[in-house]
Structure 1
């Protein structure tokens, strides 16, 4: 048993101290800090006093003051300038950067405003949308005057219909709670997806590296292959947990320091303003179970590979399974209670992400996530028993290995021992 702990601690410490782990963790942590301070960054680079200047040619002589008045209530960052210059001259000034664009106002055949906005690019941000909204308000007001409608009648016509979406099932989440949960689950799903792929690939590469350098021949003389396999899985699993804890702490303190700025913005949009302990609990549980499921499969596949360059080809089915589970979960963000999502949440290779999606967004009975956890544990045990048989024979195989027939060869070698 002492050899097992030595192997496990070696797998953990070697990865924790590696430059790739440190650099990856630092980059992700910096990304979290940047996202947490995104509002400050936007204001820093764009400037609070920045104004988008638009030249206006009003051929009617009527619409410019109305447009200016409406725009002040819609977007204060846009400044209009009434111009009598030729359109071609103003277009040159737009290209030179004097104006963001030029707006040509005319009167249509129906007696309402007609506009053409010209700029250097069709991706001009919010400017065209703001101008169109302001002109829409002007047209509505003019139409109301033609129909002799009062302001009260016009307000009634423009008022949104009262529509409330309620669930008749007791305890069901409200629409606001569902939107918050969707944002949190979306972010955590990405974390689970990339972490599982990264650490599973790390295990397969580690095994192949030891085989290609012939270190494996020395190791199996003192430590059984099965102990090596589980030592690597658990050791690198602790690496993943360490990184997860570090990033969660960085995220917590970064969001806490920027809470006042982000509340009502980025933080509230993704639902982190009211973060549920249950969601974090399910994220950790399904991350760990998903990791052990795919890590066991990765160790199995890595053991039959002798060259590092063959690793990616061999573990492609594993990556493909993770991708399918991720895309199913992404689809489920819009329909978490659909039959398809419910069924796939009990398929072991998809359970870590799809069941987490359902547990995070729906008020499930505790039996359902517990059943998902039991299915995962049973799958991990079955895969571990099978993987151990393949691993014992696979580590003794050398030469070009990029076919799944090598798994049968590995099992045959194990039987001959």
Structure 2
């Protein structure tokens, strides 16, 4: 146990003190603060967020209604009368003095029309706000022309009462689904990134030790199995440390945004603080178990290669499996009750992502969740046994091109090495 702890803590300390870990963590947390508080940051630099458009009102009566409508629907868009010629207005747009030019007129039948001119008409949000305001003015004018008062007009455009009820016992309410949707998505994405990043880290470290012949010295004092699991546990601690720092940084960024903007934070707005504790526990359980599963595979594969340059070649099959699991999970977000998603969630390499998805999006019976965890734990033990044997023999193999045929050779070497150790 002391040798295992030594390997684990050495791996952990060396990684968290490394420049890539520190730089990646600081940059990621910094980006979280910048993205979360982008609006407040732009205000600090004095940027004017209000877009102004010039209006040539040939109807003689639409501009005041447009200004009133825009004031009600948009805080960052203002319409101002442009009293000069259309050519001068177009020049003002090209010079950047105004965002765009709106020409209001009437067609032959007396119906209001609008023409919007801008340097670039791909600013869909701004144009949509103007178009929506004009549509509402037109609707109001049409209603008044046929004698409808404000109360009647409000009744016409009032939203229909529409209630939604789930008949399935396993379905969650709309509010519950909204609460867990973001959590499940974030955990799935981080699991995907963590397995890709830290799993390859394990393989690269093993390959680096082999390429420098350090492994021949290490195995004389520490057994290969102890080394493998010490590295896996050490890098799991690194991943959990970085995850905790990301979560803490994201939480502080959201809280800061709420204080600076004076509005309710997204945590309270989406009621993320009301997410069931059981779901958070499940998220941690599936993340840790899934990470152990893939880490064992990556350590095993890393022991089969002799050079760091060969890591990517042998990692490709595992990466394809991870990508497939992530893509199925993205499909399952919209179809969590799909039979395909349910069946795939019991395939060990897919279980960490898909079972978490189903637990979050559906009200699954306890036995299904327990079965998924059992499948995952069983697969981890199986992969650990096979991985330990392959690792024992693989670390002594040099000069071979990356190939799945190396598994057999590694197992034979492992058996021979174990026999020699027993004889001694």
TM-score using structure 1 length: 0.93
8 A Cα contact 1:259 1:267, kept in partner: no
Alignment partner of 2:102: what SS?
A: strand
The equivalent residue for 1:190 is 189
- C-alpha displacement at 1:393, in angstroms? 1.3
For the 8 Å contact 2:171–2:361, the answer to whether it is kept is no
Instruction: Name the SS of the counterpart of 1:76 in structure 2.
Output: coil
Task: Call closer, same or farther: CA 1:88–1:391 in 2, change over 3 Å.
Answer: same
What is the CA-CA distance between 1:97 and the residue it aligns to? 0.8
Question: Quick one: structure 1 residues 274 and 42, their matched pair in 2 at CA, closer, same or farther if it must change by over 3 Å?
Answer: farther
Q: Does 1:360 align with 2:374?
A: no
Which segment is superposed worse, 38-47 or 89-98? 38-47
Deviation at 1:10, TM superposition (A): 1.5
TM alignment of 1:370-409, pairs within 5 A: 370-409=370-409
| TM-superposition CA deviations, 1:372-412 (whole Å, max 9, x none) | 11111000111111111211111111114222112222122
1:334 match: 334
- Deviation per residue, 1:297-336 (Å, 9 max, x gap): 0011111110101101111111221111112111222222
Q: Write out aligned runs for 1:293-308 (5 A).
A: 293-308=293-308
Determine helix, strand or coil for the equivalent of 2:334.
Answer: coil
- Match of 1:333, SS state, is helix
Q: Structure 1 110/393 Cα, relative in aligned 2: closer, same or farther at 3 Å?
A: farther
Q: Structure 1 residue 257: deviation in Å?
A: 4.7
Does the 8 Å contact 1:208/1:306 carry over to 2? yes
Q: Is the 8 A contact 2:204 2:302 kept in 1?
A: yes
Q: Does 1:231 align with 2:226?
A: no
Conserved? CA contact 1:51–1:78, under 8 Å:
yes
- String of CA shifts for 1:142-174, please: whole Å, max 9, x gaps: 221232223222222211111111123568532
Give the corresponding residue for 1:32: 32
State the Cα RMSD in Å.
2.2
Q: CA deviation at 1:415?
A: 3.0
Q: CA, structure 1 residues 103+265, in 2 after alignment: closer, same or farther (shift >3 Å)?
A: farther
**Partner of residue 5, structure 1:** 5
For the 8 Å contact 1:297–1:383, the answer to whether it is kept is yes
Is 1:131 equivalent to 2:130 in the alignment?
yes
SS in 1 for 2:198: helix
* Aligned counterparts of 2:333 and 2:263: Cα–Cα separation in 1: 23
Is 1:59 aligned to residue 58 of structure 2?
yes
Specify whether residues 368 and 409 from structure 1 end up closer, same or farther in structure 2 by C-alpha distance, changes over 3 A only.
same
| Structure 2: distance between partners of 1:294 and 1:265 | 36
State whether residues 57 and 82 of structure 1, in contact with CA within 8 Å, keep that contact through their aligned partners in structure 2.
Answer: yes
Query: How many residue pairs get matched?
Result: 416
Rounded Cα–Cα distance in structure 2 between residues aligned with 1:235 and 1:46: 47
**Structure 1 residue 218: deviation in Å?**
0.7
